[in-house]
Amino acid sequence: MPNKAYRVSIIGASGYTGSELARILINHPEVEIVHITSETHLGKNFSDLHPQFIGRLDMPLVSAQNILAEDQDVLFLALPHGVSMSFVKQWAGEKVKIIDLSGDFRLRNPKVYSEWYQKEHIYPEGFKNAVYGLPELHGERIAKASLVANPGCYPTASILSLAPLVAGGYTDPKQVIIDAKSGTTGAGVKPSETTHFSNVNENFRAYGIGTHRHTIEIEEQLGGISAEEEARVQFTPHLLPVDRGILATAYANILREIDQNQLTTLFTSFYKGQPFIRIRNQAPSIKDVRGSNFCDIFPYLDFRTGRVIVIAVIDNLVKGAAGQAVHNMNLMLGLDQTAGLMDIPIKP
């Protein structure tokens, strides 16, 4: 097999996101995985941590400190919040393109970050160049970026569900409600009391009520496409007793007259040319997108209440994390944006 065109490395191998990045990138036609790092599992093979890769990706795990940025085309930072910023600072000025899957550069500035993440930012200069990596809204900027802040999983589904209404002036983004549910992998690979099997199985709970850090991320992005340049959303996340998937239900008051056909046309037109958005004529389920980079959206006009109800579903590990990161990489490298990402969802 001839050498592929681009060299990429995954910084952080132990979590679900690092594993999912490897699953997608190993079959990408244009890139070669040259390094995968882990500070706690040095010397082990990647497939020791993730046995599904036995015989396919058995490369040894190395330290991120041994990565030479000049030898890479793209670095994926699959690291926790508060950790990624150190590596972005370390590699600042290098020609390598960085896609950060943490929340360290998603927000407007370091002051907002410290308010919502309760942590001081050690590399505030990075906010000047970071581009929010939602391709459906910022594709042209992503293509020119050297640092992309990959969106959160909840914000991805939430923003995409409301963007056509907000951008078109059909709703007031200061009066929208988002009720969202996620599978347990959204909490990461490290076990906790919240994700303990006996607390999740046959159970259903809300958390982060009124305080979840993804709230500000959603508000900033919707405010950025609003004529009023401001959004104030009521966002409540819930934990589902499933492995993966997000279903977000958004409720928006209608300010301009519209019927169901016009509403569907509004969404279809707004996302024209976006290969991973599928506008549905009935409410989708999380299994409709499982294992894929698709976001299925169903906008519904409730004549009785004068509201639009929008259902959006994604796989939180793919469109909500690793798949979106690869989509961003494709744009940054000038590749076909669908490269390596057109797998059909797994169902059942």
Active-site annotation, residues: 153
Single-letter amino acid code for the residue at 315: D
Q: Retrieve residue 268's tokens.
A: 């279809």
Rounded-to-integer distance, Cα 281 and Cα 287, Å: 16
Rounded-to-integer distance, Cα 253 and Cα 2, Å: 55
Instruction: Give the burial string for 149-160 (b: 16+ CB within 10 Å, else e).
Output: bbbbbbbbbbbb
Distances in whole angstroms, Cα of residue 63 to Cα of each of 26, 47, 60, 99, 152: 20, 16, 10, 18, 26
Rounded-to-integer distance, Cα 57 and Cα 130, Å: 31
Residue 327 sits at the vertex; the CA angle it makes with 325 and 331, to the nearest 5 degrees, is 115
**Beta-strand runs (E) in the chain:** 6-11, 31-37, 74-77, 97-100, 131-132, 147-149, 176-182, 205-206, 233-239, 246-253, 277-279, 295-302, 307-314
User: Residue 327, Cα to own-chain centre: how many angstroms?
Assistant: 10
Quick one: which of 268, 261, 325 has its CA closest to 77? 325
